[in-house]
Amino acid sequence: MDRYQRVERPKHESPINDNEIRITAQGLIRNYVSYATTLLQEKRLSEIVLKAMGQAISKSVAVTEIIKKNFPRLHQDTSISSVSITDVWEPIEEGLVPVEMTRQVSMISITLSTWDTNKNSPGIIWSRKGGLWEGERTELERRICELSRQ
């Protein structure tokens, strides 16, 4: 690709909602955590959405885990998808044709909310309450249930 240069095309970005945080590979984790804390505590939002693509996905997961540790009553709903991105390359030398390359980029959207989200979602993770996961039973409760079935 020495003989080509990439053509910059205008990005078609959708507007960002008030409760949405778009995580990039260049941003700092502490800045995202600080902004999420501001949204949850000062603005009293009941739901925030973290979105990331490609290399920033691992950073969005790290930010999510830090936020959940600071706010233990948050429920998490995660969805993954992919998007096609087409890059156009123009030739520097004469006699060459323009090249279009399409690539698939992974995306993640993590919703953290203080109330129960879609219970049928395959990406739901319930909050921890009192050291147990919501819906998790202690060993004693399990034994009592087993004895009551007999």
86-120 pLDDT tens trace: 999 999 988 899 999 999 999 999 999 987 666 66
* pLDDT score, position 130: 44
CA separation for the pair 109, 3 (Å, rounded): 38
Residue at token pair 């920033």: 56
CA separation for the pair 48, 18 (Å, rounded): 9
Which strand (E) or helix (H) includes residue 148?
helix 139-149
* pLDDT score, position 37: 95
Length of the chain: 150
In the chain, what are the domains? 4-149 (3.30.110.20)
Which strand (E) or helix (H) includes residue 100?
strand 99-113
47-83 pLDDT tens trace: 999 999 999 999 999 999 999 999 988 889 999 999 9
pTM confidence score: 0.75
Q: Is 82 left (phi over 0), alpha (psi -120 to 50) or beta?
A: beta
CA separation for the pair 86, 72 (Å, rounded): 41
Contact 76, 64 (CB under 8 A): yes
The count of other CB atoms within 10 Å of the CB of residue 127 is 17
Distances (CA, A) of 35 to 27, 28, 52, 79: 12, 11, 15, 22
Strands 20-23 and 47-53: parallel
Residue at token pair 């202690």: 138
Distances (CA, A) of 119 to 11, 107, 123, 137: 35, 22, 9, 18
Which strand (E) or helix (H) includes residue 57?
helix 57-70
